[in-house]
Structures are given as C-alpha cells and as structure tokens.
Amino acid sequence: MTEKQIQNYIWEKRKNFADLLVAPQFQKVNIENPTYASPSDVLYNMVINRYEKLWDTMNEISFFGCEVPLTEEGKSTMRTDFLANRCGNDGIVVVELKRSDQTARQAYTELLAYGSYLRTKFTPMSGDDIIYVLISPVGERIVEQATINTLIYDNNKVCLLIPKYDDGDINTLKLELWIPDKKVFEDLSYSCFNRENISVSKIVWESLPDEWSPKPGEKPTPEMYNRLNKVSSIAAQLMEERGIHGFVYCAQLIPEFAKTGFDMNAIVLAGVNPYKVARERFIFDIALNCPPKLADRINKNGVNMLDILPSLASKAGDVNTEENYLEQLEETWTSKLDEIGYEILNSLTQTFERDYISKEHGEFTWETLLDNSEDYLSDNLDIHLTGVFRQLFFEYARIDYKYIRTHSDKELEDFPAYQEGGIPYEFIDMVNSQGYVRMFIERLANPFLLDDYFLEEIKTARFKHSLLNINKEDNNK
C-alpha cells in the first residue's frame, strides 16, 4: 500500500476521521507515595496527561487541506500531507504521512519546517498554536525518542499515529496512538539532575552602594532586593526562551562584607549541560560490560564524540581521535549562561549617566558552587526554575498536595517530606523559595535522600530561606 493511497483514503474520510482512530488505553505509573517519586515516573505521567488532551483534539479536528504546497518565491516547494484545525479551539494541526519507518526519521525535521513556515504566515504565532501529527510505522528508536524529546524538552504538541490494516486492504485502515515505553523516560531523565551535570555561571558586579547594595554599616533595603529579584526574573525568561533547563537567582553578600571592597552583587545561572549528561549516560550504559580496550582508552583520553555518535568514524574517525570535541563542548556550554547574564546586566544597570559597570564571572558545577563559602555567606534571593525543572516542580507539588489532602496526619508521620515545616500550607509559599527549591533539586537527583539524615544535613546548610525556616541566629551557630 502506498502513501498516496493512504493519503487519499484519509482525505475521503476526513469528515469521519474520528472513526479511523483506535481508542488507546492510557496507563499511568502508580505513585503510592510521592516522597519517593522518580523524575522518570513523574515525567511519564505528565506525558500521558498531555497525550490524553491531544487525543481529545484528534477526535475533534476538521481537515481543510490535503497535499498542500508550502512555497516561498525562489525556494524549493515543501508539501504537507494535511492541514486541519481544532473544532471549537484555536490552532492549526499539521499532519505528515510516512509509509516507512525509515522515512519517518526525517519526518520531524519536515514537520517543524512546516510549522515554521506557517508561523511566518501568521506572525506573531506562538509555538502552542500548532499541533504536529506524524502518521507512520514505528520501528526505529530514534523516532520514538524524537517524539518524546520534542514533547518534553521542546514543549511542542506532537503525537505519533501508527497505521494498521489487514492484508493491504485500505478499507480496514485504523490509526493507533503510539504510547511510549516508560524505559524511554529513564534514558531521557537519567543524569539530567546530577549536581555535577548542572553547569553554573556566576557573574558578580560592582556594589554600587545605596543603589544596589548597602553602604558599610547599613542593611540592604527591600527596594535593593526587589531590584535583584527583577534581574533574575528577566534572566529566567531569557533562559526559557532559549530552551535552557535550569534555574537562576541573584545573591548579595551579607552586609558585613560591605566594608571589605568586595563586589556585593551576583547573579547565578544554572542549566543542565547536555554534553555532560550524554557522557555520563554513555558510561552508565557500558559500565557492566565494557571491553578492556575501550575502558583503557576512556581512562586515558575520556569519552569522545565517537562514543556518542559512532557514525562519525566513517569519514572523521581520525579527527575525533586526535581532538576530544565532546570535552570542548562540555567546557564551552556555560558560555550560553554567561551571554544571558551579561546581556541582562548591561541592560538593567544603565542610567542617564552610566552605560557600563565592572563585572567578573566564574564557572562552577552546582556541586562545587554549593561547597563555595560565598553560597552561605550571601543572602540568596528568589530562585526561578526554567524548562523541565519548572514543569516538574509544579507537577511534584500537585501530587504532593493531593497526597497530603487524602492522608491523615498519622499516615504522614513516616514521610519526612510532609512533616511540620517540610512543606508549606499554601503552594504559593514554595514558589521562588531558596530552601524549598533547593530541596526539590536534590529530590530530582535522588528521591531517596529524603530521609532523616538528609533533613539533618539541610538543617545545617545555612540557607537564608531554608526548608525548615531556620532563622539567622541558627545560621550563625
């Protein structure tokens, strides 16, 4: 059966498209106690929730185009198989049909190109205004992972429908929703939240006493802290815009440092370094059965791009043996964070008379920053999460509060995360809080750290806005 036959049949049945759809069985991971919920389980359930909404959309779309040329003068023609809209809702549905799972590999590139074209025609159109649908067999893992990646990390609305029919009979055509295996989410989320894989750029700028920081012997004013929080809030928007998954906050050295001449103000930008994650994931995957020769090479020269992309060996094996490009990419990735930090500070500190302030920056991992004395010698202000960190923060909060509402105080006694002071009465009091958000980041890295030992560690961590509402006197003990 050809793509053209399937295309023509779907177009003929467009008014009854819902009849071609096979109702899926949505099964979520049962999270009995969210204290120990893993990011992969929560991500999986988030995707199933999105799929349920997308499935409702699939049953309500109305086709208004078939084999539509998308052309620009002087450029090659693209053709999308179908265009549709959501009945009663805003947005365009772009549908691409692939007969073979081999051609499906290029489908997402084409789909996103179609979406980009439409957004130029309906400027300013948001990414949320387009739903991407791929109708294709599934056989290659890259297609499955691309579906999940674009859904979670790119935040696109995308679903994959698998065509099924009997003995080549087009009249038996049915479309089944592809629901991902939970294992895919373990691969995607593994190592993403490891402290060492979160790269950090810390940029400090001159104190500017009485404007941004206190004069010697004085305390910072609420207006100073409000200014610093505005800086981090706008930086978070830029991080979201550029697809960086992480967090950002401003900090100011405690007032006692005002007389030392140190730069008092800082912005801390942190994001998941994808190259570090790829390296750690590779090592994890081969750890149990690593050939001695490979182990010797990695011990000597580290993981390189040939390990991540073996197909490079066909024409560029020597190039990637001589130079470790993966290591270079790991080391330079933080420049994305530097760029945002400098851009924000250059803009927000300008005045009628001043267009420049002195700045310095340092690079850390989240692990090394937490060990730096400046972290607990500073007032760490509102923290803003971006990307998948933000999505997971809100989802964890939803299941946490639901769990609390449906369990007695006695039942909650065994779970440290829900003991008095462990979670505020209103969720709004968690948002932007250093203590709660830092605990959440630890929770992503290893949910099982939420035990009595870890709570003792938190009590001595000297966070200015700590999980357990430690006051300033406690911090100085």
pLDDT band with cut points at 50, 70 and 90 for residue 103: low
Taking the CA atoms of 413, 40, 193 and 321 in sequence, report the sign of the dihedral they define. Answer: positive
Q: Cα(464)–Cα(475) distance, rounded to whole angstroms?
A: 8
As given in the structure block, the two tokens for residue 430 are: 């968690």
Output phi, psi for 101, to 5 deg: -70, -15
pTM here is 0.85
Partners of 86 in the β-ladder = 61
Q: Of 441, 430, 424, nearest to 370 (Cα)?
A: 441
CA 223, 225, 226, 229: dihedral to nearest 10 degrees? Answer: 160
Judge contact between 232 and 270, C-beta under 8 A.
no
**Residues in the chain, overall count:** 477
Q: Cα(191)–Cα(198) distance, rounded to whole angstroms?
A: 10
Q: Cα(13)–Cα(20) distance, rounded to whole angstroms?
A: 8
CATH 3.40.1350.10 in the chain, residue ranges: 3-186
The amino acid at 413: E
Model pLDDT for residues 271-316, shown as the tens digit of each residue: 999 999 988 888 877 776 777 877 777 777 788 898 888 889 888 8
Model pLDDT for residues 144-199, shown as the tens digit of each residue: 777 777 777 777 888 888 888 888 789 999 999 988 878 777 766 667 888 899 99
Mean per-residue pLDDT, 434-441: 90
pLDDT band with cut points at 50, 70 and 90 for residue 472: very low
**For residue 183, what are the CA distances in angstroms to 29, 43, 139, 178, 441?**
12, 11, 16, 14, 22
Q: Cα(411)–Cα(418) distance, rounded to whole angstroms?
A: 10
Judge contact between 161 and 175, C-beta under 8 A.
yes
Average pLDDT, the chain: 83
pLDDT band with cut points at 50, 70 and 90 for residue 360: very high
Question: Hey, what CATH topology would domain 3-186 get?
Answer: Trna Endonuclease; Chain: A, domain 1 (3.40.1350)
- Cα-atom radius of gyration of the chain, to the nearest Å? 26
Mean per-residue pLDDT, 318-333: 91
